Chain A
């Protein structure tokens, strides 16, 4: 159970990226976050694992206060929250298997990382995750030799290595073509349904929202403007979320 209460983020320049946002996410839900570019979706997701420190408000996860956590506690919280990025954020010059193993960094002792050593179980686990997303044969290639869709699968495998209870996906399919988008979304759906992992996924296309999300929240200029089921987004709601002049596509 994730509870976000009155979350506000004001950047140094005075931009109010999040304005008093509150919502709850029950365990195991697939929550879509929609809104225009710059509406605060990325900031919201990054506040949840404290990549960005919120200005005010509270985030409770399983009763633990993420906003008040000490650096040591944040590391322990982060390792149970996987994150998938729009631009995949793989380390290009490292091998695929190394990128996947990096998901275990929150668990392994830093002294061992110094020698680039991972426990044997983690190596096996990494191969299993790559098999799960269907690219085990690419394990020893350099990450930048892979296509976009493959790179995003590596990103998902990396998140899975964390044994996550929650996955934050920041526009995971925005830089992929529609066919690949569906295959990536299916992986997320499968993880959500089979492993019971809570998924918070920011999306651009409403058809993806209708197809995959259990529930939707919408942001407009940092404010929560809609919270409900995907099918509740009618034309009026759509105009509230995306602005008066917006046209529906797809």
Chain B
């Protein structure tokens, strides 16, 4: 290191930096309202004391209580003529209280003594304003505690409630009897904490299932080698929307046909027969091993057969939904306490009914896209340079127009501009021109690094979504599906997808390359390489991350209720707003117990799997 001489310039710079830091912190103090006087103010300290004491006594157990009440008259102030008021002698057969002196000015202390109460009991000793002894209003916050003989002495400060009439001081001593039982708060807390844990479980499951395929697309080492010729990329882009439209149309039609068949025997028969038929067709269309390349006719026949198998499977899904739906309705009442199983079946049938068209549309989109991509690949391999160039120009223009047209439609839907020249024709022309440009500057048979493009896009989307907190996502979902745990599941699920996909993909990127190379060398295609070389290597970290994420989700689901996402957070924030700190304390303890238990369980399970 060089030993530099101290120069005035350097000292000045240091001084300026220190000054700057001071200014920054001063401004920070200013805008964060740091004010220690708040801590010292008596009112604050009293509130803090009250809340802390309430928090220290969580509302979990309660006793059956019996109470004894006794009261003694008192005059505030003393009569104007200076006489001492007549106080009748108390009934000494039961519990009684005496007040000395029997009259005093407001703000003065009087001594209250109690006799014949329960031993070791406690309760309030309060001033009862007005002359009605049955008045339930009590003033003050004095508490007294009886000794073993049932006697107490307390000093009460008389409030400013002046009256010429007799007023009272009432002592209410309470004693716990029997064994403790759970309070209503404890029961609600238990219900909600169960809801919280399951909310986290469902969100984790949903998130994991969708994060796994995403993580492969977001892994650089897998995507780097994916290259395709331009015609193939363009065709696969065009294939997606067309395939989704066709798929949605076909699946909805099948759905209509299938839901028209409501008779139970036919339902049963089709649910049992359809998988067999689909399996049989599938086996024929997908021979396990082939040494020779099949002829074009055979391949087309197989494609058609596969199509039929898919149609049959879809029909089966709809019929299954139908069957479980009617089954669950008929058995719900006879199940008694296990009725939630029937409800679950019913929900599953609903989920099947709702998701099948969407899944069918996506699968058709993917299938059409990959089929077209394959055709584009073959056309590029076989065509002459000139013809490939022409195909590239046409297809790239069409693909660019499709992408930009769809983006334009999205903009139109979001902002309702209502001018097709800006949101439809404009983007289509721009997209087509960009596509043409790409095709002009790409050599006809060159391959483009589509894998890296997909990787970049996926990573960008994941990073953007990951920076949105789950609580904020919950606000959106609460609007979409209403207040309740379902919104919480969706919000946490989405957040789980994006964060797990990132963590998973980093694991994929760090796997050993050797097995990958070896499996590729056997002639395996990309899917097979993933299944036989990638997945076995990533199972332990995936399990570990999933457990970790469940742990996080339990923690998150405790607060997601604050914005209406269900779970224990909802009652917690309610109780805090109602200043019901004892109940809030019970819920905080429940959260602490569950979170630390999850912590422990997940660490034990991770150790086991890894």
Interface residues of A (CB under 8 A from B): 49, 51, 70-71, 74-79, 81-83, 85, 87-94, 98, 102-114, 116-119, 121-122, 155, 158, 161-162
Contact = CB atoms under 8 A, between A and B. Distances in A.
A87 B514 contact: yes
Contact of A113 (B514, B517, B527, B540): B527
B512 to A, nearest CB: 8
B522 interface: yes
Given A102-B518, A109-B286, 17 more contacts: A76-B293, A76-B523, A83-B518, A87-B514, A88-B514, A91-B519, A91-B536, A91-B537, A93-B539, A94-B532, A105-B532, A107-B291, A109-B289, A110-B528, A113-B528, A155-B518, A161-B522
A90 B521 contact: no
8 contacts: A51-B517, A76-B293, A79-B523, A89-B514, A93-B537, A98-B532, A113-B531, A119-B288
A108 B290 CA distance: 7
A102 B522 contact: yes
Contacts of A76: 293, 523
A161 B521 CA distance: 12
Contacts of A161: 522
Contact of A106 (B514, B522, B531, B539): B522
A106 B526 CA distance: 11
Contact of A102 (B291, B377, B524): B524
Interface string B304-348: 000000000000000000000000000000000000000000000
A94 B523 contact: no
Contacts of B527: 110, 113-114
A95 B179 CA distance: 59
Contacts of A93: 536-537, 539-540
B518 A110 contact: no
B290 A102 contact: no
B507 to A, nearest CB: 13
B290 to A, nearest CB: 7
Interface of B: 286-291, 293, 377, 381, 514-515, 517-525, 527-528, 531-533, 536-537, 539-540
Nearest to B527: A110
Given A91-B536, A93-B537, A108-B288, A85 B525 contact: no
A109 B288 contact: yes
A16 to B, nearest CB: 22
A76 to B, nearest CB: 7
Nearest to A108: B289
Contacts of A116: 531
**In the A-B complex, the 4 residue pairs with the closest CB atoms:** A106-B523, A79-B523, A105-B524, A89-B518
B531 A114 contact: yes
Contacts of A106: 522-524
A106 B536 CA distance: 19
Nearest to B519: A102
B544 to A, nearest CB: 14
Nearest to B374: A72
B517 A112 contact: no
Contacts of B381: 70
A119 B290 CA distance: 11
B536 A51 contact: no
B521 A51 contact: yes
A70 B374 CA distance: 12
A119 B289 contact: yes
B532 A102 contact: yes
Contacts of A105: 519, 522-525, 528, 532
Given A78-B523, A102-B522, A110-B528, A91 B515 contact: yes
A162 B286 contact: no
B522 A78 contact: yes
A225 B460 CA distance: 50
A89 B528 contact: no
Given A79-B523, A105-B524, A162-B522, A89 B515 contact: yes
B288 A117 contact: yes
A155 B525 CA distance: 19
A107 B521 contact: no
